[in-house]
Structure 1
Amino acid sequence: MTTAREIMTGGAECVRDYESVLVAAEKMAAHDVGALPICGRDDRLKGMLTDRDIVVKVLGAGHDPAATKAGDLAQGEAVTIGADDDAREILRTMTDHKVRRLPVIDGHTLVGIVAQADVARALPDPQVGELLQAVSTD
């Protein structure tokens, strides 16, 4: 079976928990991505920050993105997948947590991101439909 390591996008860029949301938005634009992992000074994953988080929780709430720290938006423990977990486990994790992107970790080290589209390419058609339905419902 295909593993997360085989289908992920490697070299994920982190936004540091002490960096501003403005810096995060600039990194998202530079890398043409809609989400970034939030990492602490110890390089451990603290959460995920999405472009939607920036719009709704910062701009929509009237906060200054230059003064809001990325770490302020990290909510609880990040949902992750192990680098050697197979595509079915990725599917289960995305479905259970209704997420479209998962940070891939090897031990405590972030090694990449696996997105819904990556899983869709790795799974048979019926399972892809189940994933899309599960993460797209409210």
Structure 2
Amino acid sequence: MNVSEHCCRGVISIADTADIVTAARVMRDQHVGLLAVYRQDDDSHRLTGVLTDRDIVMQVTAADRNPHTVRVQEVMTRQPILAYEHDELRDVLQVMRLAGIRRVPVVDASGAAVGIIALDDAIELITGLLCDISGSIRSERHHEWRAHA
């Protein structure tokens, strides 16, 4: 299974010069915990970093900084761990576990962000597989019962 089959498509992004209040509002309005960050002057919006809700809490709120004056580029994670569309999901999940992160941007061959893979996506996949397995077992039992009745 590769990452592109299971990631959430559509990346919510923000310019690196935006203030933290704006970033937090985008996260709230879009119901996301990670924003892809691009350089303000880059029309192609190539990924230059990521900003998470945890970055805001740890580096702005807990540090008692004024969120109106702090810019995304000051607290974003530069050079984040990335997954490429063709990467194996299992390998990406292992990297996430070792790095202690819940979300990873997914990029295409040119490095453009195309999605986000989150632990929630893996849980949803595993849950679906378990339901399929459980359904097969129930179906087998039902067929066995009908055959012996």
Asked which structure has the greater CA Rg, the reply is 2
Could you tell me which residue of structure 2 aligns to residue 108 of structure 1? 111
TM superposition shift of 1:76: 3.5
Provide the C-alpha distance between the structure 1 equivalents of 2:77 and 2:103, rounded to a whole number of angstroms. Answer: 15
Aligned residues: 124
Which stretches in structure 2 are left out of the alignment for 5+ residues?
131-149
State the distance in 1 between where 2:49 and 2:122 align: 21
The alignment's TM-score, normalised by the length of structure 2, stands at 0.75
The CA distance in 1 between the partners of 2:77 and 2:30, in whole Å, is 23
What SS does the aligned partner of 2:122 have?
helix
Equivalent residues of 1:17, 1:40 under 8 A apart: yes
Partner of 2:26: 27
Give the drift of 1:31.
0.6
**CA-to-aligned-CA distance 1:80-127 (integer Å, 9 cap, x gap):** 1001212112112212221100000012100010100112333578xx
- Partners of 1:87 and 1:122 within 8 A in 2: no
Runs in 1 of length 4+ with deviation above 4 angstroms?
Answer: none
Give the C-alpha shift of residue 60 in structure 1. Answer: 1.7
Q: Is residue 79 of structure 2 the alignment partner of residue 77 of structure 1? A: yes
User: Structure 1 residues 24, 33: CA separation in 2 closer, same or farther (over 3 Å shift)?
Assistant: same
AA of the residue aligned to 2:69 = A
Deviation at 1:47, TM superposition (A): 2.1
SS of residue paired to 1:64: coil
Aligned residues of 1:34 and 1:51 also touching (Cα < 8 A): yes
Task: Quote the sequence identity (%).
Answer: 30
